[in-house]
Amino acid sequence: MLYDAITEDEDGIASINPEKCDGCGMCWQVCPSKAISMTKPV
Please give the full DSSP string across 9-38, using - where no structure is assigned.
Answer: -TTS-EEE-TTT-----HHHHH-TT-----
Is the Cα dihedral 35, 27, 3, 24 positive or negative? negative
Query: What global pTM score does this model have?
Result: 0.60
Mean pLDDT, the chain, rounded, equals 83
Average pLDDT over residues 19-38: 86
Is the confidence at residue 39, as pLDDT, over 60?
A: yes
Domains of the chain, start order: 1-42 (3.30.70)
